[in-house]
Structure 1
Amino acid sequence: MTSQTQDWRSRAKAKKQQQLDSIPKEWILRNPPSKDQLNVTDIPRTCGLLSSREIEITESHVEAILSNLAKGIWSAVEVTTAFSKRAVIAHQLVNCLTEIFIERGFARAAELDDYFKRTGKVVGPLHGLPISLKDQLCVKGLDATMGYVAWIDKPSEKNSVLVDTLESLGAVFYVKTNIPQTLMFPETYNHIFGRTVNPANRALTSGGSSGGEGALVALRGSPLGVGSDIGGSIRIPAGLNGLYGMRPSYHRTPYAGNVNSLEGLNSVYSVLGPLTTSLETVKTFMSSVISKEPWQYDPLVIRKKWNEDEYRLCDHNGGKQLCFAILWDDGMVRPHPPVLRALETARDALTRAGHKVIDWDPAGLAEVNNVASKLWGSVGKQDSLAVTSLSGEHLITTMRPEVEDLENLFELPSRYKALNLTAFEFWQVNVLQRQLRQEYLDRWRETANVTGTGRPVDAIIAPVAPYAAMPHGQHRNAVYTTVWNILDYPAIAIPVTTVDPILDVKRERSSFYNEDDRTNWEYYGPEKFKDAPVGIQVVGRTLQEEALIGMTEIVDRSLKTYQPKL
C-alpha cells in the first residue's frame, strides 16, 4: 500500500470518526438490531430513546408541525430535539448522515422561540421546521465533501443561496445527508461515510444520489429534506423509500453556491427539490422558496412568481376529467411486475375517479437517453479525476459491495466512458437535444387529437425505475428518470404500494427488446425485493410546477381512495 493510499484512507477514517464523535452518547441505541433484521422502520418508535411526545412530533406531517409551532403548542427547540434524536437513531440503522451539527440547530431553534415569545409571531412560513440537506448544499463553516476525500476539512465559506432562502423562511438545519462519490450514481456509497441502505430492507439500496435523504426521511428523522436531481437523484430515492419527491424545471429553484459534479455542463442542469412524506409539503416547499424571489440572488433563476391559478388547474378544466397518459415501458427495459401493478393501480384509480387514461408511446425516448449518455460522457472521467487525483483516492466506478474496497475498480459505467468529443462534436449533441425537445413539445401538443378533452394530455404517469429497490450494486438503470431531465419536464415521485409476493409473481415473456431487457426479466423474483416500496412519477410540462403539483394531488387522492377488487 503506497503512502498516498495510506494518507487518503487515514483522512477518510478520521473524518468518519469525527462524525461518530458528534453523536450524543445518550442517543446511542442500547440494543441495536442484528444485521439479519432487514426491515428497521419500526425501531425508532420502539427503541425506547424517544418519548411519546417526540414520537408524535416526528410522525406528524409538516403542515401539522408548522401549525403547532405557530400556535405555540410545540416549541422550535423541542421539535428540533425530537428530529435530531430520531435522525441519529436513523443513522445508526441505515448510515444516512454526513455532517451532524445539532448544537447549531438548537441555537437556531432557541432564537426562533425567543422571537416567538417576544412578538407572538413566526419568522416565516417554515418557522421552526427542521430541514435536512443533501451533503452538496453548502452551510457556512461545515464541509461539503460530496464523498471526495480531497474536500475533507475544506469548510464552506458561506451558505448556498437555497440555504439562506430556507433560513430566512424560518428553517432549522441540523444534519446533512450521504451521497455517492461524484453524485452520478442511483445508489449511495463513498469512501468517507460508507453505504446508505434502505430502511424497509437493508439488503436493498436506498437509491441515489440523494440516498441519504431518502433513507432519513423514510425513518422520519427529517420532516423535509432537500435533494438534487440531474438524472433522477430526487425521484429515485423517493420512489425506493415510499416518499414524495419533486424534480422542478431548470432554474425554478436557486442552485447557486453549492458544490457539484459536471460543472460547466450547461446542457442539462442539476436542480434542487424536496423529499418528504406528503404532497402538501411539496407545495409548501416550492411556494415558500419562490415567495422569496430567488431570482434576486441567483442569476439563473427564472423570474416566475408562484401562480395559484395554475395550481388550481385553471388551464386544465379546473381538475375535472383530466386525461393522463401512462408510459408502461420505455421500449428499452420493461418494468418488473410490482412496478406494472403500481401503474395499473393508478390507471384503475383515475378511471374510477372519472378521469381519462390513455397510453403514452415511448417513441423517441431511446434517442433522448442516448443524448444523456453523450452529454455525461463527453469528457469521460476528467471531471471526477480532477478531484480524486488531489488525494489519491480511488474513483468509484461500481456500487457492488464485493468490490467497493478494491484498489483496481472496474466495470466502468457507460456514463464515464470517454467519448473525447471535440467542441464542435459537443455542439452537435446540444443541437440534437434541442431538436428532441422540440419534437416532444410537438408530440405532446398533438395529443389533443386523441384525448377526447379538447386539450393535450394533462400529465404523463411513468415508472420511477424498471424495478423496486434493488440489492446493493444492482441499480444500473436510471433511464426512466433521466429522459425527463434532458427534456426539462418537472416530475413528482409518489408512493403507491410495496412488493407483494402473491400479487407480483413473475410474468412469462417470449421476446425481449435487448439483452438488458432480458437480464432485467431474468433477475426478477419477488423474494429479492421483500417489503420494498414501489412508486411512480407524474410528469408535467416545462415550468408548470404549480399545475403539476395540482394534478399529482388528484393522482395521489385517487390512489388513496381507491379500493381494488381482489
Structure 2
Amino acid sequence: MEMKPWQEVAQRAQAYRDKSIAEINPPIPAVPEELPQNVIHLPKQLLTPREVEITEMLPEELLPALADGKLTSVEVINAFVRRAGLAQQLVNCVTEVMVPQALERAKHCDEYLAKHGGPIGPLHGLPISVKEHIGMKGLTQNCGFVAWIDEVAKDDAFILKLLHNAGAVFYVRTTEPQLLMHLETASNLYGVTVNPYNRTLTSGGSSGGEGALLGLRGSCLGIGTDIGGSIRSPAANNGVWGFRPSSYRLPNSGAHAPGLGEEQIVPVIGPMSTSFAGLNVFMKTIIDQKPWLNEPSMVPLKWNTTESHLVERFGQKKLKVGIMWHDGVVKPHPPIMRALTEITAKLKNTPGIEIIDWAPHKHEESWDIISSLYFCASAKEDLDIMEAGGEPILPLSKFILLDQVGVPKEEDTASTIWKKTIRREAFKTEYAAHWNATGAADGHPVDVILCPVGPGAAPPLDHSRYWAYTSTWNLLDYPALVFPYSQVGQEKDKVEEGYVPMNDQDDWNYKLYSPERYADAPISLQLVGRRYEDEKVFEAMQFIRIATGV
C-alpha cells in the first residue's frame, strides 16, 4: 500500500530516532519478539549487572558518588543511555538518544572533577531526560505534530541552561502526544507509548515518554510539563514521583507548543523522578540560581525545605490533612480507594497529624471552566496544524478539541476571554473560602489535601477521558505532588459489586474496571497544597513518608 505524505514524515522521524539508538556502543541487547504484558523486569535480565546497579540507583545515591569520583560520569551516562535505548524497544518512549553529545559532556564532567577536585555543581554528572518540546538548540520541537517535524529550537530552554550550570548531562528526549493535550501519549509521528507494567494500559500524558522511561529506570530524573495533569498522570501511571509546581516558580521560556502566550491556564515545567529527593534537588537547584533575575515573570521565592524548617513548621502544631475520597463526580476504582483507606488509617494513628474528610467543592464546574479556557483561539489553531501536516486527528485529540462543550467553535474575542477569566477568578475565590472554612473551629485550616490522581490506575489505551482529579488543581494553580504507593492486586482489588453510579461519567468509569484488566498497574496518590505553598507540600510529604513508610 502506498504511503501517504504524513506517513513518510513519520517514517523519517522514526528512522532518525533509530539511527540515534544505533550509535549506542556496545549495541543494546535484542528484546524478545513476543513481549510479555509486563516488561518492567526485562532490563534486569538483558543488561549487565553493573549497568543494572547504576541505573537503579536513586538521584540521592548517584550524586554523592559522582561528586567524589566513586562513579565516573562516563560510566553512568553509558549505563543510562543503554537502558534508555532498551526502554524504547519495550514501550516506545524515546524520540532521540543523544549519544555523542552526552558522552562529550560526561567526559567534561570527569575532567573538571579531576582538575578542580570538586564537582561542577549540585547536579554534577547526573543524567537528566527531557520531554521533546522543551527546546534544545539545533534539535526539533515538533510537539507531536507532523507539520512541525522541521521546527528547530534556536537556543536551549532557560531551564536547561540552569540545569547545565549545575552539572547535569542531557542524554535522551522523550515522546509526547499530538496536541500535547492528552493524558496519554500517542502521535502519528511515533505511535503509542505504552505502560511498562501492563502494555495494554497507557503510560499517561502528555509527559508519557518521561513517565515510561522513568518507570523502566532508563532515567532517574526528568523534565515534564503540566497544564491539566501532564506530569502527574504519567508519574502515577508508571509508579514514579512527579511534581506540578505553582505557576512561575520554574522558568517556562524555550518550550514550544500551540497557543504560546496564553495566560488563562498557565502551563508549568516540573520534575519527575524515581525518588522524592530527586524532585527536591531539582526544585532547589533551579530556584537557588535566582532565575527571576533573567525571567522577570517568575515569582522571586527561595526554596526552603530543610529539616529545621520542617520542625519549625510542624513541630509546635499538628499537620492537618484533608482526605478527598472522591470529587463528587467520578468515584475512583477499588485500588485507589484501598490506597487512600490504608494510608489514612496509618495517618490517624500518627502523633502530630490530624485527619479530616475533605468535601470537594464544585469539581464538575471546574472542568467546565478550564476546558473553556484551554483553547481561547478555538480548536481551529490545532486543527489547522494537523491539516497542514495532512495527518489524521487521533481519538483523544478529537475528544479534547471537538467533544468538550466549553471549547469555543470560533476564536474568542477579548471580551469573552475577560468574562471567562472573571469566572475563573470567582471559582478560585470560592475555593479559597472553602479551604479557609476547614479552620473555622480551631483557627487551623487544612495544610494539604491527600487525594486520587485520577479515577483509577493507568487506563486502557484511548480511555483517559476524565481529567478533573488533576485539572482542577491547574485551574486553581495549586502545587501537587504525586507519589507511588503499590500496585493493583487481583485478590485485593475486587470490583465493587452493587455500586450505583452517580452519573453517566461515573457509570462509564465504573464499567471500565476489572482487576484482571488493570493487572500490575501502579497505584499512586496526590498531595495538594495552596498556591505558592509548594515547600509546605514537600514538608508535609516528608512528614507523611515518615508516618506511613511510602
TM-score range, shorter chain: over 0.9
CA distance in 2, matches of 1:93, 1:510: 37
Distance 1:97 1:20, change over 3 A: same
Aligned pairs for 1:444-455 within 5 A: 444-450=435-441, 454-455=443-444
Measure how far apart 1:496 and its partner are: 1.0
Measure how far apart 1:509 and its partner are: 3.9
Residue 429 of structure 2 corresponds to residue 431 of structure 1: no
Q: 1:305 aligns with which of 299, 302, 305?
A: 302
Distance 1:72 1:36, change over 3 A: closer
Q: 1:505 aligns with which of 494, 518, 527?
A: 494
> Partner letter of residue 371 of structure 1?
I
> Partner letter of residue 423 of structure 2?
L
Aligned pairs for 1:168-179 within 5 A: 168-179=165-176
Tell me, yes or no, if the aligned pair for 1:150 and 1:387 is still in contact at 8 Å.
yes
Q: 1:418 aligns with which of 387, 408, 414?
A: 408
Q: Which moved more, 1:149-158 or 1:512-521?
A: 149-158
Measure how far apart 1:428 and its partner are: 1.0
| Residue number in structure 2 paired with 1:258 | 255
| Residue number in structure 2 paired with 1:161 | 158
TM-score for both structures, normalised by structure 1: 0.92
Distance 1:17 1:352, change over 3 A: same
Tell me, yes or no, if the aligned pair for 1:378 and 1:419 is still in contact at 8 Å.
no
Aligned pairs for 1:155-554 within 5 A: 155-308=152-305, 312-313=309-310, 316-318=313-315, 321-354=318-351, 355-398=353-396, 412-414=402-404, 417-420=407-410, 421-450=412-441, 454-554=443-543
Tell me, yes or no, if the aligned pair for 1:244 and 1:495 is still in contact at 8 Å.
yes
Measure how far apart 1:282 and its partner are: 0.9
Measure how far apart 1:398 and its partner are: 2.9
Aligned pair count reads 547
> Partner letter of residue 543 of structure 1?
Y
| Residue number in structure 2 paired with 1:37 | 36
Distance 1:548 1:499, change over 3 A: same
| Residue number in structure 2 paired with 1:57 | 54
Measure how far apart 1:410 and its partner are: 11
CA distance in 1, matches of 2:264, 2:401: 27
CA distance in 1, matches of 2:414, 2:501: 37
> Partner letter of residue 303 of structure 2?
W
Question: Structure 1: which 5+ residue stretches go unaligned?
Answer: 400-407, 562-566
Deviations 1:380-429 (A, max 9, x none): 31221242233222233437xxxxxxxx9999442784343433222111
Q: Which moved more, 1:348-357 or 1:283-292?
A: 348-357
CA distance in 2, matches of 1:293, 1:314: 26
Measure how far apart 1:364 and its partner are: 2.0
CA distance in 1, matches of 2:350, 2:140: 49
CA distance in 2, matches of 1:151, 1:310: 46
Tell me, yes or no, if the aligned pair for 1:98 and 1:178 is still in contact at 8 Å.
yes
CA distance in 2, matches of 1:486, 1:136: 23
Measure how far apart 1:310 and its partner are: 9.6
Distance 1:310 1:56, change over 3 A: closer
Aligned pairs for 1:9-88 within 5 A: 9-24=7-22, 30-35=29-34, 37-47=36-46, 50-88=47-85
Distance 1:87 1:444, change over 3 A: same
Distance 1:444 1:530, change over 3 A: same
CA distance in 1, matches of 2:308, 2:434: 24
- Taking only the aligned residue pairs, the percentage that are identical comes to 38
Question: Structure 2: which 5+ residue stretches go unaligned?
Answer: none
CA distance in 1, matches of 2:455, 2:395: 22
CA distance in 2, matches of 1:442, 1:129: 43
Q: Which moved more, 1:73-82 or 1:147-156?
A: 147-156
Measure how far apart 1:280 and its partner are: 1.1
> Partner letter of residue 502 of structure 1?
E
Tell me, yes or no, if the aligned pair for 1:377 and 1:414 is still in contact at 8 Å.
no
CA distance in 2, matches of 1:345, 1:147: 39
Q: Which moved more, 1:541-550 or 1:200-209?
A: 541-550
TM-score for both structures, normalised by structure 2: 0.95
> Partner letter of residue 156 of structure 1?
A
> Partner letter of residue 373 of structure 1?
S
Distance 1:286 1:12, change over 3 A: same
Q: Which moved more, 1:262-271 or 1:308-317?
A: 308-317
Measure how far apart 1:26 and its partner are: 5.5
Q: Which moved more, 1:274-283 or 1:508-517?
A: 508-517
Tell me, yes or no, if the aligned pair for 1:397 and 1:413 is still in contact at 8 Å.
no
Q: Which moved more, 1:320-329 or 1:30-39?
A: 30-39
CA distance in 1, matches of 2:108, 2:532: 36
CA distance in 2, matches of 1:425, 1:27: 58
CA distance in 2, matches of 1:130, 1:293: 23
> Partner letter of residue 276 of structure 1?
S
Distance 1:283 1:91, change over 3 A: same
Q: Secondary structure at the match of 2:4?
A: helix
CA distance in 2, matches of 1:117, 1:356: 51
Distance 1:6 1:522, change over 3 A: closer
Measure how far apart 1:518 and its partner are: 1.1
Measure how far apart 1:314 and its partner are: 6.0
> Partner letter of residue 543 of structure 2?
I
Measure how far apart 1:30 and its partner are: 4.5
Q: Which moved more, 1:312-321 or 1:477-486?
A: 312-321
Tell me, yes or no, if the aligned pair for 1:319 and 1:551 is still in contact at 8 Å.
no
> Partner letter of residue 431 of structure 2?
Y
Q: Cα RMSD (Å) of the superposition?
A: 2.2
Deviations 1:510-544 (A, max 9, x none): 53221111111122111100000010000011111
Tell me, yes or no, if the aligned pair for 1:188 and 1:207 is still in contact at 8 Å.
yes
Q: Secondary structure at the match of 2:517?
A: helix
Q: Which moved more, 1:493-502 or 1:311-320?
A: 311-320
| Residue number in structure 2 paired with 1:8 | 6
Distance 1:282 1:320, change over 3 A: farther
Distance 1:145 1:353, change over 3 A: same
Aligned pairs for 1:102-141 within 5 A: 102-141=99-138
Tell me, yes or no, if the aligned pair for 2:93 and 2:193 is still in contact at 8 Å.
yes
CA distance in 2, matches of 1:141, 1:349: 51
CA distance in 1, matches of 2:308, 2:329: 34
CA distance in 1, matches of 2:94, 2:475: 30
